[in-house]
Structure 1
Amino acid sequence: MFKNGMRPVHPGEVLREDYLKPLGMTANALAKALHVPASRVNDIVLERRGISPDTALRLTRYFGGEEADAVGWINMQATYDF
């Protein structure tokens, strides 16, 4: 059982549901905007790959956060992995 009774959420689910879908943006379009391989973003949103520090920084910069906000992506990944 998880500490709060809920399953941990993969960062890819958050990226897909809270960022890409509301913007009507594809994973491929985001990859192009982030200057990363499309496979990286596709694998993240399909929950087959975790968020790396590099990707966390790129996402934070792209979506308008402060660099310190990248820690949120990393913490979400760490919680999911744990």
Structure 2
Amino acid sequence: MIHLVDPAHPGEVLKELFLDPLGMSAGKLAGQLRVPRTRIERLVKGETALTPDTALRLSRFFGNTAEFWMNLQYSYELEQIRRELDVSAIEPLQSSQAA
């Protein structure tokens, strides 16, 4: 399957679409979210995954939904595993096998 657009890491989206336009640092955001500075710094660098805890905090702060943030993470992880995992040896279930 060909994917024309690779999903961005949630940290990249956070940096490019939220922090940079606001002129806000990862450390400043971390303070606003009441989380360790390193959590947001590592997220922005793509070194760590977005957690549901952070997604809820970001959604509250930026006025969007936790699902928005978690869907970014899900899409990113799914694309990464598609690149790494070869499932071609798995035979699809045939309708005659389902019975």
TM-score by length of 1: 0.89
Determine the structure 2 residue equivalent to 1:49: 48
SS state at 2:67 partner: helix
| 1:14-41 CA distance string (max 9 Å, x none) | 1000000000000000000000000000
CA distance in 2, matches of 1:21, 1:61: 19
CA distance in 2, matches of 1:2, 1:9: 16
Deviation at 1:2? 4.2
1:3-82 → structure 2 map (5 Å cutoff)? 3=3, 5-65=4-64, 69-82=65-78
Distance across 2 between alignment mates of 1:80 and 1:28: 24
TM-aligned CA deviation for residue 47 of structure 1: 0.6
More helix by share: 1
Shift of 1:12: 0.4
Kindly name which structure, 1 or 2, has the bigger radius of gyration based on alpha carbons: 2
Query: 2: CA distance between counterparts of 1:25 and 1:8?
Result: 23
Instruction: Identify unmatched segments of 5+ residues in structure 2.
Output: 79-99
User: What TM-score do the two structures reach when normalised by structure 2?
Assistant: 0.75
RMSD: 1.1
Report SS of the residue matched to 2:47.
coil
Off by >6 Å, runs of 4+ in structure 1: none
Do the aligned partners of residues 2 and 58 (structure 1) sit closer, same or farther apart at CA in structure 2, a change above 3 Å counting?
Answer: farther
